[in-house]
Amino acid sequence: MAHEQLVRLSATSPRPEAKASTRQRVTKRRDALRARAWQDADSAELAQRDRWPEAAEGRVPVTSPHSRFRRERDCGYAYNRYNQQPSFLSDFEVDLLPLVDGARSIDELEAEVAPERRSEVGPALRRMIDLNLLRWSKTRIPDRAPTVEDLRPDAISAIERPSAPLVVHWEPTLRCNLRCATCYNESGPKAPIGVSADVVIPQLIESGVFLVTILGGEPMVDPHFYDNIRRLEEAGVGVEFVTNGWLLTDEHLERLLDTHICQIMVSVDGAEETHDRVRGRKNSFRRAIDGVRRFSDAGFDITVSLTVLRSNLEELEYMIDLSAEVGAAYMKLRPVVDSGRAKEQVETSEALSPDDVRAYQPLLHRKIDEHGGRLQFIHVSPLPTVGACFCTRDVSDTRYRTCRQGPCFIGRKLAYLRHDGGVAAHAFVREHVVGNITDAPLRSIWQNDDFWADVCP
Ligand SMILES: C[S@@+](CC[C@H](N)C(=O)[O-])C[C@H]1O[C@@H](n2cnc3c(N)ncnc32)[C@H](O)[C@@H]1O
Ligand code: SF4
């Protein structure tokens, strides 16, 4: 059945012909993304060879233009917005960074550090190059020392918790063109809009947030969507967003191609009938799948975000194959959370037991093998950026505490910013507000120990 559906969908949804100008833009963007995401193959290849062939060729290490760095009390964090991965840095690596000014050779860098630490310079540079935070330059580019934002608070061990969130999930509005039966924050056409971006954005920037994921509501109904992206990106903050895909037009695609966004998540909640029922609108499945295809064709890295329900358990295999077929790079599956409008559904028919969740894990593992590297699963675990405790309600269950970002995000690196300015630890505990940015700065809310105590023991 899965195969039939796949064929049917392909046959009835021909890939739209791109206009010549769009096609040129797509090619350009793809090239640019490739070049940005990984430093040139040339230097990667060189890095594999002898100890410092780069040095022999007179190359100097220099900061990648899209990297940001933060010093914390006992470590640091870095971020390259084209990888969208916050990385942990050691104290030594952070101390080394201001010396990596684009003018110093490796020998000169080694000469600058204490003799007993000289042997650490090479591995530190190598690691930061591997993380795409630094690259090799053929010519010396003086004055390229990175700005290292100093965010050290006195009280917090940054290894456990940085002084401000690295990633913020922001719902600027709850307005949405759809009104899904399972929506965790009760968004819809008449739901409230949020506090002004003039209040929110300066706080995100001042806090040194690396990446903002815009949710909603539906980001594309927000009249300030592009303005918000522009303001954040101009300040060096990476942006990604999650959409139901319904509203995607050529104009949106054009405008998005003018941003630095690389990653977009499109939500698809099962095969056509299931998705349209859950999303409450006929054709929403086709438009979402079409959205995945068009975004992907335009060079964006697409994640299909699938809420696992009792009613789509049998469709998971089909959805995984279909996502790969229409060009998704990632697939994110997470069980429905009983919040907002989903409460009623979960109470009646859609609830998954921990055993249900465990039961589909072998399918995911099989599919990972089948699709190889072409489709990656962000969360093979039952849950996304939070630990299994939110699924099983068992905080001692650490089996699934691994995900793309490392161990469970709760209370560690992620803050959820509600439309009304309320701050929570995660979307799925968004009712548990620990402060409001209209009353206090995000950083002071974040640094309040009470923030964590109740959320994650
Ligand atoms: C609230 S939506 C906002 C973005 C956009 N309107 C959309 O649907 O993609 C953000 C993400 O949460 C997911 N989601 C909504 N309700 C959920 C629930 N009760 N449990 C798990 N995920 C849910 C959606 O499928 C979507 O991927
Ligand atoms: S899940 Fe997304 S599309 Fe559905 S009502 Fe909520 S915000 Fe809108």
DSSP of 269-334: -SSHHHHHHHHTSTTHHHHHHHHHHHHHHTT-EEEEEEEE-GGGGGGHHHHHHHHHHTT-SEEEEE
So what's the pLDDT on residue 189?
97
Does the pTM of the predicted model rise above 0.85? no
How far is it between the farthest Cα atoms of the chain? 69
Ligand nearest to the CA of 188: 2
Q: Which residues of 259-278 are buried (b: 16+ CB within 10 A; e: fewer)?
A: ebbbbbbbbbbbbbebbbbb
Does residue 133 contact residue 67 with C-beta atoms inside 8 Å?
yes
**412 has pLDDT over 70:** no
Please work out, in degrees rounded to the nearest 5, the angle formed at the alpha carbon of residue 190 by the alpha carbons of 187 and 191: 40
Tokens 């506090």 belong to which residue? 195
Q: Which helix (H) or strand (E) holds 70?
A: strand 67-71
Burial of 47 (0-12, 13-18, 19+ CB in 10 A): middle
- 160-174, 203-217, 389-403: least confident range: 389-403
Q: Report which of residues 22 and 241 the model is more confident about.
A: 241
443 C-alpha vs ligand 1 centroid, how far in Å?
26
Mutate to test the pocket of ligand 2, among 170, 178, 179 (most ligand atoms within 8 A of CB): 178
**Per-residue pLDDT, 374:** 79
pLDDT, position 25: 64
State residue 411's pLDDT score. 62
Residues 332, 359: contact at Cβ < 8 Å?
no
Structure tokens at 366: 């099989």
For 56-76, the pLDDT digits (tens) are 677 889 988 788 898 887 778
Count CA within 13 A, CB hemisphere, residue 373. Answer: 0
- With 70 as the cut, is the pLDDT of residue 30 above it? no
CA distances from 123 to 48, 87, 344, 392, 418 (A): 13, 16, 54, 41, 41
Query: Which residue is listed with tokens 């859609």?
Result: 350
* 10 Cα: distance to centroid of ligand 1 (angstroms): 26
Give the tens place of pLDDT for each residue, 286-317.
Answer: 999 999 999 999 999 999 999 999 999 999 99
**Is the predicted pLDDT of residue 159 greater than 90, yes or no?**
no
- State the closest ligand 2 atom to the C-alpha of 188, by its place in the atom list counted from 1: 5
For residue 279, the CA-to-ligand 2 centroid distance in Å is: 8
Q: What angle do CA 431, 436, 437 make, to 5 degrees?
A: 135
- Report the alpha-carbon distance of residue 61 to residue 104 in Å, rounded: 8
Q: What share of the chain is helix, strand, coil (3-state, %, to 5)?
A: 40, 15, 45
If one compares 244 and 20, the residue with the highest pLDDT of the two is 244
pLDDT score at 451: 61
Give residue-wise pLDDT tens across range 387-409.
444 444 333 333 333 333 344 55
| 73/30: higher pLDDT | 73
Provide the terminal-to-terminal Cα distance of the chain, rounded to the nearest Å: 45
Name 205's Cβ contacts closer than 8 Å, sequence gap at least 6. 232, 235, 237
User: pLDDT category, 79, cuts 50, 70, 90?
Assistant: confident
Q: In angstroms, rounded to a whole number, what is the distance separating the alpha carbons of residues 321 and 8?
A: 13
Expressed in angstroms and rounded, the spacing between residue 185 Cα and the centre of ligand 1 is 8
From the CA of 338, give the closest atom in ligand 1. 19
Tokens read off for 20: 């010549």
Which is it for strands 67-71 and 76-80: parallel, antiparallel or unpaired? Answer: antiparallel
Distance CA 387, CA 425 (A): 12
Confidence of residue 33 (pLDDT cuts 50, 70, 90): low
Arithmetic mean of pLDDT over the chain: 80
Average pLDDT score over residue span 200-214: 94
User: Which is more confident, 75 or 106?
Assistant: 106
According to DSSP, the residues that pair with 67 across neighbouring strands are: 80
**pLDDT tens readout for residues 424-437:** 888 877 888 889 99
**Closest approach atom of ligand 2 to CA 246:** 3
